[in-house]
Chains A and B, each alone.
Chain A
Amino acid sequence: MLSQPFAIATSPDAVTHPPASIEYLVDRIFRALAWAAAALLIVLVAYILWKIGGQAMPAIQKYHFGFLISSQYNVQELKFGILPGIWGTLYSSLLALLIGGFFGLTVAIFLTQGFLPPRLAFVFRLIIDMLAAIPSVVFGLWGIFVVIPVIRPAANWLNEYLGFIPFFGTSLSGPGLLPAAIVLAIMVLPTVAAISQDALNSVPYRTKEAAYGMGATLWEVILKVMVPTAAGGIFSAMVLGFGRALGETMALAMLIGNANQVSLSLFAPAETLAALLASHFPEAGPAEVEVLMYAALVLLAITLVVNVAGIGLLTLTQRNISGKA
């Protein structure tokens, strides 16, 4: 049986006793299971990459890299390209990050720098957290019936009078890039706000006190001391928010209009990789499924790079700050 290193300590009247062989066995099995579960996470990520990559292989061989820069998407002629998807994904996510990042960071400052009494801050934090809990598809429904009707008059006014600017080049007839980006911004906001709050909270209190002691005003402290000190964490909040926006699907599939075109206009219907998958996959034949797997691989690569960068950065800055404090 298994070795018994404690056997010598066994005495009949002892309160404790060394582990019996069965307990050794259970211990080994449990540890092996826990090891396997941790290893499973790595295997899962590897298997996801391998599986989606493998399914995309035929399409990669057929369409090569031209797939990434072609705007054609024609199932009948079997000509495929996902430039509009890549363009729309990046454009809508950047726009969402611009809006959601600004609001998210301001909310984080608002919640951590003593603008509200603690109890009210708790309530407001709850409201922002609830925003993160609303399902994507509900935001999509809300976008269709609230956001689009609300912004349409303003959008069409801008197009009428400032239509020479490429951003306002078309009118908003319904779904389009701007409503999608606005809803996306709302969904990014809680992510950015939560991580930025952690970053701001982890700035040592004495740093803040020192700045106040020098006679700085509230906003001088915030903008010249707190935000620069927490910059690493805030930047990774932005990167992770961007990653979240890139992969968001349902709200975009409902709001962006699924039009296969590359346009600078904020009001034109567009396409994103995730929305392309959502709207084409359920009805795709075998030839199209290969193509969609290729698109999924591209989306996977983009989001993986962004998320790995964001989390790597966050780990690094957390280590730096806790190292100094």
Chain B
Amino acid sequence: MTDATAANVPGLSGEPPVLTHSWAEGRALRNGMLTIGAWAVAVIAAVPLVSVLYMLIVHGGSRLSLDLFTELPPAGFEMGGGFGNAIVGTVVMVLIATIISVPIGVLAAAYLAELGPDSQLGRVSRFLAKVLTGFPSILAGVFVYAVIVLAMGGYSAIAGGVALAILMLPTVVLTAEEAMKMVPRKMKDAALGMGCTRTQMIWKIVLPTALPGILTGVMLGVARVAGESAPLLFTALFSNYWLRSLGEPTASLSILIYNFSSMPFDNQIELAWAASLVLVLIVLVFNVLSRLFGRAKY
């Protein structure tokens, strides 16, 4: 027993140990097969994205023209047309959502990160913010229908914007909290040591330093809700006309895609693809923006 181990230790015997192994050996073979399997799975996982992008570019790209952005959706057998009103509607409702969710979200994040990170309230609301990230978007629509649409007596851009704000809020809160926590303790202590109130410390030190991180969260939130359609189905509904006021049914790109996808007309199907391309581009632009802001390190 001891002889055998001694013989295997290099330097103790004349013969160097054999460290090579054949690929056909059981363990190595299994390892190789699993590696090939993992590669296959990874490649298959990338196929849907490639296919989606291909379809968008082929079907949507062929229809891309200026008319899409300036004209109204066609009815029935009409040819041509565009979805200018849907783009305006999407932009307006996302803007409403941003205006509502960003101030509330950043304030809540300031509380979670600085004022009461370990307080009872802080813990519960952080937990609920995380739970809300998985909140089904259609239920935001149901909730806003019950609260706003019924109260206002009709579908509106405001209702749609509020529904989107509910979905955007948790993303903003959680990313802004992370960003504020990343601000070095030293800087915060220095500010407090100079006699700053907590508010001055947050406004003059934490917020400016954490701004890139907060913007990342806002961009992520925008990217998330810009493509949402379920919460708009029965809050903003749809409209075939240009937006005239915030109190009336409003078109959006996502609902246009949903409506047109089930129509038996080729023209509408083409428009649905073109709208998808535009929508995906909008979402991707905000995703890229969030990454650019996120890269700025402090």
Closest to A100 in B: B45
Complexed CA–CA distance, A75 and B89 (Å): 33
Q: Please determine whether A115 and B230 come into contact, CB atoms closer than 8 angstroms.
A: no
Q: Please determine whether A34 and B134 come into contact, CB atoms closer than 8 angstroms.
A: no
Q: B9 an interface residue at 8 Å Cβ cutoff?
A: no
Within 8 A of A (CB), among B26-55: 27-28, 30-31, 34-35, 37-39, 41-42, 44-46, 48-49, 51-52, 55
Q: Please determine whether A220 and B27 come into contact, CB atoms closer than 8 angstroms.
A: yes
Q: Please determine whether B280 and A303 come into contact, CB atoms closer than 8 angstroms.
A: no
B227 to chain A, nearest CB (A): 3
Q: Please determine whether A243 and B142 come into contact, CB atoms closer than 8 angstroms.
A: no
Residues of B within 8 A of A18 (CB): 195
Q: A181 an interface residue at 8 Å Cβ cutoff?
A: no
Complexed CA–CA distance, A301 and B18 (Å): 62
Residues of A within 8 A of B129 (CB): 41
Given contacts A52-B143, A107-B42, contact A137 B49 (CB under 8 A): no
Closest to A104 in B: B45
A63 to chain B, nearest CB (A): 18
Q: A246 an interface residue at 8 Å Cβ cutoff?
A: yes
Main SS of the interface on chain B?
helix
Q: B104 an interface residue at 8 Å Cβ cutoff?
A: yes
Given contacts A34-B107, A134-B227, A274-B138, contact A254 B258 (CB under 8 A): yes
Contact with B along A34-65 (1 / 0, CB 8 A): 11111111101101100110110000000000
Stretch from A79-87, A160-168, A259-267, A292-300 that touches the partner? A292-300
Residues of B within 8 A of A304 (CB): 131
Q: B215 an interface residue at 8 Å Cβ cutoff?
A: no
- Please pick, from A38, A128, A140, A220, the residue contacting B122 in the complex, using a CB distance under 8 A: A38
Q: A133 an interface residue at 8 Å Cβ cutoff?
A: yes
Q: A76 an interface residue at 8 Å Cβ cutoff?
A: no
Q: A218 an interface residue at 8 Å Cβ cutoff?
A: yes
Contact with A along B16-28 (1 / 0, CB 8 A): 0000000000011
Contact with B along A223-267 (1 / 0, CB 8 A): 000000000000000001001101111100110000000000000
Residues of B within 8 A of A42 (CB): 121, 124-125, 128
Q: Please determine whether B131 and A52 come into contact, CB atoms closer than 8 angstroms.
A: no
Residues of B within 8 A of A243 (CB): 134
Residues of B within 8 A of A128 (CB): 45-46
Q: How large is the interface on A (under 10, 10 to 19, 20 to 34, 35 or more residues)?
A: 35 or more
- Please pick, from A102, A186, A217, A246, the residue contacting B27 in the complex, using a CB distance under 8 A: A217
Complexed CA–CA distance, A11 and B173 (Å): 41
Q: A23 an interface residue at 8 Å Cβ cutoff?
A: yes
Complexed CA–CA distance, A129 and B137 (Å): 20
Complexed CA–CA distance, A27 and B287 (Å): 35
Residues of B within 8 A of A144 (CB): 261
B96 to chain A, nearest CB (A): 17
Contact with B along A123-167 (1 / 0, CB 8 A): 010011111011111111110111000000000000000000000
Q: Please determine whether B139 and A299 come into contact, CB atoms closer than 8 angstroms.
A: yes
Stretch from B79-87, B198-206, B239-247 that touches the partner? B198-206
Q: Please determine whether A41 and B173 come into contact, CB atoms closer than 8 angstroms.
A: yes
Residues of B within 8 A of A7 (CB): none
Q: Please determine whether B229 and A135 come into contact, CB atoms closer than 8 angstroms.
A: yes
Q: A19 an interface residue at 8 Å Cβ cutoff?
A: yes
Q: A109 an interface residue at 8 Å Cβ cutoff?
A: yes
Residues of A within 8 A of B65 (CB): none
- Please pick, from B30, B45, B121, the residue contacting A189 in the complex, using a CB distance under 8 A: B45
- Please pick, from A27, A296, A300, the residue contacting B198 in the complex, using a CB distance under 8 A: A27
By CB atoms of chain B within 10 A, which of A16, A41, A109, A274 has the most? A41
Residues of A within 8 A of B66 (CB): none
Within 8 A of A (CB), among B104-141: 104-105, 107-108, 110-112, 115-116, 121-122, 124-125, 127-132, 134-139, 141
Residues of B within 8 A of A249 (CB): 136-138, 229-230
Residues of A within 8 A of B233 (CB): 278, 281-282
Given contacts A34-B110, A310-B134, contact A142 B55 (CB under 8 A): yes
Q: Please determine whether A307 and B227 come into contact, CB atoms closer than 8 angstroms.
A: no
- Please pick, from A31, A51, A254, A282, the residue contacting B199 in the complex, using a CB distance under 8 A: A31
Q: Please determine whether A135 and B279 come into contact, CB atoms closer than 8 angstroms.
A: yes
Q: B237 an interface residue at 8 Å Cβ cutoff?
A: yes
Q: Which residues of B contact A (CB under 8 A)?
A: 27-28, 30-31, 34-35, 37-39, 41-42, 44-46, 48-49, 51-52, 55-56, 59, 104-105, 107-108, 110-112, 115-116, 121-122, 124-125, 127-132, 134-139, 141-143, 145-147, 166, 169-170, 173, 194-200, 202-203, 223, 226-230, 233-234, 237, 254, 257-258, 261-262, 272-273, 276, 279-280, 283-284, 287
Which 8 pairs across A and B sit closest by C-beta, in order of nearness? A247-B136, A135-B227, A37-B107, A27-B197, A249-B230, A37-B108, A34-B111, A38-B111
